[in-house]
Amino acid sequence: MSENTFTVRHPVPGGDPEIASELDLTTLTAIDPAFLGRALMRLPLPPDVAESLREIPSETTPGERALMFQWLARLWDGEGDVVEVGPFLGGTTRALGLGMLLNPHASKRRLLTIDRFEGYYNTAELKRTTEPLVRRYGAGRDLLPSLDRGSFHELFHATHAASDYGSFLEIVKASLPDRPEASVPDSLVRAMDSLGPIGLLMVDGCKSWYATKFLMRAFIGKLRLGSHVLFQDYGWYTCFWIPAFCETFRDHFELLSFVDGTFVFRYRAPLAEEKIEREFPDRPESWGKAQFENLFERCLEQSLRMGDTLGPVRYTLQMVAAFAYLGEKREARRLLDACDAHPAMRPHASLIAQCRRSPAYTPDGPVSLEEVAGSTSDQEPASPVSSGTLACGKADSVVDVRITAKGAEVVLRCKGCDQKYASHQPTVAGMAMGRHRCPKCGASVFINPDLFADALERHVPCPSFDEMVELTNEASRITETWYRAESMADLMTYRGVNVGRAAERFLVPIVTRALASADGEGREE
């Protein structure tokens, strides 16, 4: 093994026999998406994989890369080509590649990664960011001239080609068209022609409305029904076109899971290129403000039903981005003012301020919220660079949770004066959120449902991945059989049809949650 490779304990072929989950992949859609994301992200990574995933500077969060690794290792069925769009330096490429390597179902592996590999960072920033990679992988190669030109193509080759997944990695240098009038490079046409059925698509390079439409229209015919599509930018507000696409074609793409900004969908019903052409315009301006309003309100409603606590801020800022893009700046500012005034949005104040500085970008550059173009020269523009996560406060300010007769108290450590104090935790619409004031220095801290849940987990731990698989399988068994029992079958039969069958899948997440919250004794009853 050369110095440029890292050790993976279970090399190809065959993957890791222990890594296969016993989860029936057809029940995946029945699992609570947030629950699945958290469970996967918390699975321990093999130590060599954990180290490898940390090595490459990435614009994704560690949680997102852990999700990608685990997804490819456990939940990809091993069929078809895996395609990545927008690897940058390859943090996500490595997560996908290592996951594929360990997947025991894969008989043949092919990972195709597409990027323009240039013009993403300015030269100084690119050289600073890539310095550790150049040191590690640059021996015997002069990578600096290409980096000086703003290209990271050679560095990408040097970093990944000799890796354990390098044998099945194909690197394609091509630009997706960001405008309808832009030409499609030959390298992209050749790459698309060479593809077999796609088993999994990871999208992190659609930095415009049109590129998203182009990619999905071009690849939809090759996407296997039942395959998984990971949109890394789904949660990032500037890329409002990603949720706009997913929501427009929600009958075809079903949400399976999410971690931070990355959302995973299952391609569940055939979608024709013509339908994309017809229903998703070339430019967002072809849709009016009301259409975006309805679309993001639907997204918001679904997220609340799922208990996705970041849904309100995510979809509100995406609505702001869409309005700003359309030139509806007054309306965009009004929404941001409402965010600033809403107590539940306070943990997201810096994100809201960032969105106010520049909420979106077009292929021509950042969009500002000022009415007069150019009046924001001193402000930091929106960048195609995703933040990766919607940060929401400091978890370490909550030291503990105490369950009391009247509800719950949080035990907090004040960031200002280090005072430890207990305070009653209010709930808003059933969700644990509220502001607490330090009795010593008066500094206040806002606790949102995620921070509360994290602290509570020390007492009532979130089920592990294996427990979740077991609970889901148990719930599936219950939902598939209860209505057939003699005593129930009569009750459930209407005009000769047992209607319980139709509710099988729908009931699985409900029963899973009930089982998860039941104690051992209750589950046996």
- Decide whether 280 or 483 has the Cβ nearer to ligand SAM: 280
Tell the smallest beta-carbon distance from residue 508 to ligand SAM (Å): 32
- Decide whether 176 or 369 has the Cβ nearer to ligand SAM: 176
Question: 68, 203, 211, 414: which one contacts ligand SAM (CB under 6 A)?
Answer: 211
Question: 69, 88, 236, 249: which one contacts ligand SAM (CB under 6 A)?
Answer: 88
- Taking CB under 6 A as the rule, does residue 303 contact ligand SAM? no
Instruction: Give residue 61's Cα distance to chain centre.
Output: 10
Q: Measured between alpha carbons, how far is 475 from 91 in angstroms, rounded to an integer?
A: 36
Short-list 503, 441, 515, CA closest to 475:
515
Q: Measured between alpha carbons, how far is 35 from 513 in angstroms, rounded to an integer?
A: 10
- Taking CB under 6 A as the rule, does residue 91 contact ligand SAM? yes
- Decide whether 10 or 228 has the Cβ nearer to ligand SAM: 228
- Decide whether 175 or 389 has the Cβ nearer to ligand SAM: 175
Region binding ligand SAM by CB under 6 A among candidate stretches 80-88, 98-106, 270-278, 411-419:
80-88
Region binding ligand SAM by CB under 6 A among candidate stretches 46-54, 131-139, 202-210, 272-280:
202-210
Region binding ligand SAM by CB under 6 A among candidate stretches 20-28, 58-66, 258-266, 315-323:
58-66
DSSP state of 119: S
- Taking CB under 6 A as the rule, does residue 175 contact ligand SAM? yes
- Decide whether 312 or 384 has the Cβ nearer to ligand SAM: 384
Tell the smallest beta-carbon distance from residue 192 to ligand SAM (Å): 13
- Taking CB under 6 A as the rule, does residue 316 contact ligand SAM? no
- Taking CB under 6 A as the rule, does residue 476 contact ligand SAM? no
Residues 425, 410: contact at Cβ < 8 Å?
yes
- Decide whether 88 or 465 has the Cβ nearer to ligand SAM: 88
Q: Per-residue contact track with ligand SAM, 255 to 294, x per CB under 6 A?
A: ----------------------------------------
- Decide whether 203 or 469 has the Cβ nearer to ligand SAM: 203
Element (H, E) at 39: helix 33-42
Question: 30, 31, 45, 59: which one contacts ligand SAM (CB under 6 A)?
Answer: 59
Q: Angle, nearest 10°, between helix axes 289-306 and 241-248?
A: 80
- Taking CB under 6 A as the rule, does residue 389 contact ligand SAM? no
- Taking CB under 6 A as the rule, does residue 61 contact ligand SAM? no
DSSP labels, 357-381: H--EEETTEEE-SSSSTTTTTTSPP
Region binding ligand SAM by CB under 6 A among candidate stretches 69-77, 87-95, 429-437, 467-475:
87-95
CB atoms within 10 A of CB 495: 5
> Strand 493-494 vs strand 444-447: parallel, antiparallel, or unpaired?
unpaired
The partner residues of 360 in beta bridges, in order of sequence, read 367
Region binding ligand SAM by CB under 6 A among candidate stretches 100-108, 156-164, 205-213, 420-428:
205-213
Q: Measured between alpha carbons, how far is 108 from 85 in angstroms, rounded to an integer?
A: 20
Element (H, E) at 53: helix 47-55
What length does the chain have? 525
Q: Where are the beta strands (DSSP E) in 232-383?
A: 253-259, 262-267, 360-362, 365-367
Q: Measured between alpha carbons, how far is 516 from 94 in angstroms, rounded to an integer?
A: 34
- Location of structure tokens 């996951």: 99
Q: Per-residue contact track with ligand SAM, 114 to 153, x per CB under 6 A?
A: -xx---x---------------------------------
Tell the smallest beta-carbon distance from residue 210 to ligand SAM (Å): 9
Tokens linked to 320:
């702001």
Task: Using DSSP, state whether 175 is helix, strand or coil.
Answer: coil
- Taking CB under 6 A as the rule, does residue 205 contact ligand SAM? yes
- Taking CB under 6 A as the rule, does residue 204 contact ligand SAM? yes
Phi, psi values for residue 179, rounded to 5°: -135, 150
- Decide whether 59 or 260 has the Cβ nearer to ligand SAM: 59
Q: Measured between alpha carbons, how far is 423 from 404 in angstroms, rounded to an integer?
A: 11
Residues 422, 404: contact at Cβ < 8 Å?
no
Residues forming contacts to ligand SAM in the complex (CB under 6 A) are 58-60, 86-88, 91-92, 115-116, 120, 175-176, 178, 204-205, 207, 211, 385-386
